[in-house]
Chain A
Amino acid sequence: MTKIGHKDGLTEKLKILLVEDDELFRMGLKSVLTEYGTIDEATNNQDARRLVSENQYHIAFFELKLENESIDFNLVQKASTEKRIYTIILTAHDNDTFIEKAYSFGCNDYFVKTSDLSGIVRTVENFSFKKNEQLLQFQDFIRHKFISQDTYTIDQLRSLLVDNRNNRRPIFIEGPSGVGKTLLAEATHNFLIGNKGNFVHINCKGLSENLLESELFGHERGAFTDAKSSKIGKLKLADNGTLFLDEVATMPIKLQTALLVAIEKKQFMPVGGNRLVQSNFRLVCATNEDITQLVHEAKFREDLFYRIYKYVIYLRPLRERSGDIPLLINHFHKKSGDRRIVIRPKAMEILQKYQYPANVRDIEDIVDILLREKSGIIEITNLPSFVINNENRYFKNNTPSTLDSNVNNINNIIEEVRVGGLRKYMNNHKKMIVNRFIGLHHGKTKEAMKEMKYFSSRVYENSESLAIQE
């Protein structure tokens, strides 16, 4: 494998194709891409077709309008789907129809030509980075610590690293309890910041407002009755590092306001203090609640939501990635250091169908139960009854059924429409859904629009506000 020097370490040399008839623009692009690999050029469809057939490129750039002809979209599709080339349309056409057409033919990115080539360089750099050492280590973390083979999960985690290594934007981790949110937050710190700063973890749930305020912002001596000495807050401890706010949705509104100011101004006032304290940290938040719903119900500040809900990772519950269950069972089995047992395939099938309300914590418990079985060979009959019956062992009687919950939802909707009218209800929900999709696509509005099949110039690409114009 050919290697070239690169600021992020050794990287495999890329093979790039430029299909562009404008010689000056091609020369400019070549000059910035040369350091990433070798570049072939074509000025018409015929030459491009031949080059795509004869070579295996990593990345291909296509201009839509060539001399006396338009780009052959079948060629773009072939490059993207058959040859699995990362295809980028690079054109002066800033038009939704062309953008939609390009994506429908399988292109990966669409850039409008400007004199600033930094966006294109960043894309190529990210593509190149996907092959480097740090990413391999991160994949190792996924395989051996996070333990997942779920493609959706792995793709998200890889993107988390690739998309955030050159910025300090907040990361938001959503998912039910026990899916590894804290583990991922720690890994995010280790891979994105390392030993340049501290990883500071605080769980916002269960702390009184005053205590949480003091924990976050610190306090001066005598600020309140028990403040016998001054204390440095978690925000300051996380300076140059990562502040992980677990269960952020439970944070009291008053503190949300103070946190918003601290994030925006990178400075805050300790409790009872009279001097501002500076701190520059990466914020990672997690919750197992539906934060968009809390915003809708005015239980979470909308402006803070827009500030922290920029790069969203959704960790799926175990029941939605049953392929990971045997891996996790095997992991906890070995980790226990206990005797070895064998789980019969039929029993494993039942284990894979169980609902795991507490997710990975349930796996650990169940492995523990199985290790205490007399028989070293686990058949269906050796499984705990709650697994065989697929019962939620924590809330046997008080969990509402799906039907009840649906009926409640409909009643809530009817009440909301009665109060505010249908138009307001639809607008609120449209905004919420659009923002949610943009969040799930990590701020890439066009990708979100593509998935929603909703193309509108009112949804503008502004990762700072993550909002739609109304």
Chain B
Amino acid sequence: MITYDEEISGLFHDLMSLNCGLVSGLNLLRNKIINKEDYQEIVPLIDKRFTKIRETYKVLEQKIMEK
């Protein structure tokens, strides 16, 4: 059975958490419940979030491959 150490478990947690924020932001966009100024704030945040998720996943992938 595969077991993960604290570092890998922590990375999973980070990814889940980042993902919740991403979905939350996308929901705001989809449901059009923010005004125009907020769009200018939220769109780059979502873009950054995609990058952050990708980066974190690459670290996780590397840690898993090293095991």
Chain A interface (Cβ < 8 Å from any Cβ of B): 22-25, 27-29, 31, 65, 91-93, 113-115
Contacts and interface: CB of A to CB of B under 8 A. Distances in A.
B25 A27 contact: yes
Interface in B14-62: 14, 16-18, 20-25, 27-28, 33-34, 38, 42, 45-46, 49
A27 B24 contact: yes
Nearest to A93: B13
A24 B13 CA distance: 17
A24 B24 CA distance: 6
22 contacts: A22-B21, A24-B22, A24-B24, A25-B24, A27-B24, A27-B25, A27-B28, A27-B38, A28-B24, A28-B28, A29-B24, A31-B28, A31-B33, A31-B34, A65-B13, A65-B17, A91-B17, A92-B13, A92-B17, A113-B17, A115-B20, A115-B27
Contacts of A113: 16-17, 20
A92 B24 CA distance: 14
A435 to B, nearest CB: 30
Main secondary structure of the interface of B (DSSP, over half): helix
A301 to B, nearest CB: 39
Given A31-B34, A115-B23, A24 B49 contact: yes
Given A25-B17, A25-B24, 12 more contacts: A22-B20, A24-B24, A25-B20, A27-B25, A27-B28, A27-B34, A27-B38, A28-B21, A28-B25, A28-B28, A65-B17, A114-B20
Contacts, number: 51
Contact of A24 (B16, B33, B45): B45
Interface of B: 13-14, 16-18, 20-25, 27-28, 33-34, 38, 42, 45-46, 49
Contacts of A65: 13, 17
A55 to B, nearest CB: 25
Given A31-B34, A115-B27, A24 B21 contact: yes
A114 B22 CA distance: 11
Q: From B16, B18, B24, B45, name the one whose CB has the most chain A CB atoms within 10 angstroms.
A: B24
Nearest to B16: A92
Contacts of A31: 28, 33-34
B22 to A, nearest CB: 7
A25 B45 CA distance: 11
A227 to B, nearest CB: 58
Q: Which 10 pairs show the lowest CB-CB distances between chains A and B?
A: A28-B24, A115-B23, A24-B21, A92-B17, A24-B25, A25-B21, A113-B20, A92-B16, A22-B21, A25-B24
Contacts of B49: 24
B17 A22 contact: yes
A114 B16 CA distance: 8
Contacts of A91: 17
Nearest to A29: B24
A227 B42 CA distance: 72
A89 to B, nearest CB: 13
A200 B47 CA distance: 59
Contacts of B34: 27, 31
A27 B42 contact: yes
B13 A23 contact: no
A347 B45 CA distance: 73
A185 B6 CA distance: 51
A309 B14 CA distance: 39
Nearest to B42: A27
Contacts of A114: 20
Q: From A22, A28, A29, A93, name the one whose CB has the most chain B CB atoms within 10 angstroms.
A: A28
